[in-house]
Structure 1
Amino acid sequence: MITTELARELRTHGLVWHPASGDVFAIDSGEFDGETFTVSEMTIEAHEFDTGTILGFNGTTEWALDSVAVEKAVWLPREDQLRTLLGGTFVSLSRTDAGQYVVETVRDGAGARFTAEDAETAYANAVLALMAQATADATA
């Protein structure tokens, strides 16, 4: 799982989350540091309103929490979700002899490699670079 800090960077660079069953998130608040939650129709469900998306905590008596606005949550995308975000730029995932993960991408004929201790972080760094490049292209 990627860190909350890396997830915040993705959000800052424009990654938009549309909560779906199975998604993992953290609440962007000091009192919930280190806690993660999973969207599930049985316990945490996304409710769409005209004013925005609310994550409702259904029957979770262990938490003194009824709901939280999606803007106060930080999505922690899974490996498969990050790979999907890379789209056609994704080339491969491999491991080095030292056990690190390497994600290779190609965009506009230029290749890039992103190395990390886990596959999710390597993918997230590749997505972050792709988003930064898209922002740079849009402002050019």
Structure 2
Amino acid sequence: MISVELAIELREAGLQWHPAPGDRFAIPDRGLDDQAFVLSDMIIQLHDLPGGEAVIGFNGTTEWALDDVERDEAVWLPHEHQLRELLGPGFRALERSGDGWRVAVADRADSFGASPEDAYALALLRVLRTA
């Protein structure tokens, strides 16, 4: 899983999140930075409120006081396959490189990361920043 810091960089570079069941996310700056949550049809759902505001609702969480958070307060932690899909047709290869991983994207310098997800995220960050 990519770090919250890298996820924030992706968001700041323009990565849009369209929440869907199975998506992981974090809620930074609330003492929950180390906790990853998963959207689920049963427990954590996206609710569109009247007036167009979207919130993430935590159903049945009696053990702690968190009913919902605004979607913009959450930071998406994309899965490896989501990052690869976001690279689109420019994605060329993922290869082992020393102690880490290398992602090649057409017309861009290679990106290196400690895990495949990190390498994909760093490649996507480079693409977003140069777009």
Letter in 2 for 1:38: V
- Quote the sequence identity (%): 47
Distance across 2 between alignment mates of 1:129 and 1:60: 38
Distance 1:8 1:111, change over 3 A: closer
C-alpha RMSD of matched pairs (Å):
1.1
Deviation, structure 1 residue 72: 0.4
Q: Which runs of 5+ in 2 are unaligned?
A: none
How many residue pairs are counted as aligned between the two chains? 130
Deviation, structure 1 residue 29: 1.9
State the match for 1:138 in structure 2.
none
State the match for 1:31 in structure 2.
31
Q: Tell me, yes or no, if the aligned pair for 2:4 and 2:33 is still in contact at 8 Å.
A: no
Alignment of 1:56-75 (within 5 A): 56-75=57-76
Distance 1:99 1:113, change over 3 A: same
1:92-128 per-residue CA deviation (whole Å, 9 max, x = no partner) reads 11102x231111100xxx2421111101110001111
TM-score norm. by structure 2 comes to: 0.94
Distance across 2 between alignment mates of 1:12 and 1:102: 23
Alignment of 1:63-102 (within 5 A): 63-96=64-97, 98-102=98-102
Distance 1:27 1:129, change over 3 A: same
TM-score norm. by structure 1 comes to: 0.88
Give 4+ residue runs of structure 1 displaced > 6 Å after superposition: none
